[in-house]
Amino acid sequence: MINPLDLTGKHILVTGASSGIGKATAIYISKLGAKVTLVARNEKKLEDTLSKLEGEGHSVYPFDLKQVEEIEGLINNIVSQKGALNGLVHCSGIATMRPLSMTRTAFLHDMMLLNFYAYVELIRCSSKKNNFTEGASFIGISSARSISGDKSQTAYCSSKAAMDAATRCMAKELATKKIRVNTVIAGFIKTAMYDMFVGNAGEEAVNSYILGRQYLGMGETVDVANAVAYLLSDAAKFITGTGLIVDGGFLS
């Protein structure tokens, strides 16, 4: 039986693989046969993710992606040790809430470092000669709020909107190299970020807001992982420069 999402033997780098969507994605694509390289700051949590992966050939690279200037060295090390990339999934991100009156340049910069600058640099370095295979798929995890906006989230929403815009630009530029670039535009997903919102506003208020707009209820990390697996696979070989919306109806 043919599995259109088969990733057997494909080398996929997943950032933010220590928790949340990144961890779920790494576990899921390992079940589809991928060889997964895990990147995040916390080595202990990365090792926990590694222990849950199926198959062989996986690896762990503890790294702080806010050190954007060091990303090229990271990619070079990974490729030299594990081989060229068939795919990249940037799940690392922060979503701190802060009202406009408290949003200073330093806060904006910190948000952009991980959510946007690191994403562009990862793709810039991964798309260099010998670092990728033909048909490679690069993916960023964006947010429905990059489109809808939200109170106290100017920095976060802007960083994800920048990711979406950069994706469209990079997809056009990298098409000549047979590299696809897309985002998954996620709605509210039950992760540590959701727990943070609950901590700030209270569970009743958050759930009332979400369930009033996200008609299929709260999303699970595997819902995003499914979409990522599709975009990584050859089933999506004719898709580039777009945002795949996985939001339970939030934007409808």
Q: Could you list the active site residues?
A: 156
Structure tokens at 59: 């690896």
Structure tokens at 68: 């954007």
Q: What is the DSSP string of 71-129?
A: HHHHHHHHHHHH--EEEEEE---------GGG--HHHHHHHHIIIIIHHHHHHHHHTST
C-beta of residue 233 within 8 angstroms of C-beta of residue 7: yes
Residues shown for the chain:
252
Q: In the beta sheet, which residues pair with residue 88?
A: 13, 138
Query: Would you call 174 helix, strand, or coil by DSSP?
Result: helix
Cα distances (angstroms) measured from residue 24 to each of 93, 156, 204: 15, 22, 26
Query: Would you call 185 helix, strand, or coil by DSSP?
Result: strand
Q: Angle at the Cα of 105 (from 245 to 39), degrees rounded to 5?
A: 50
Alpha helices in 133-220 (DSSP H): 145-148, 154-174, 192-201, 203-211
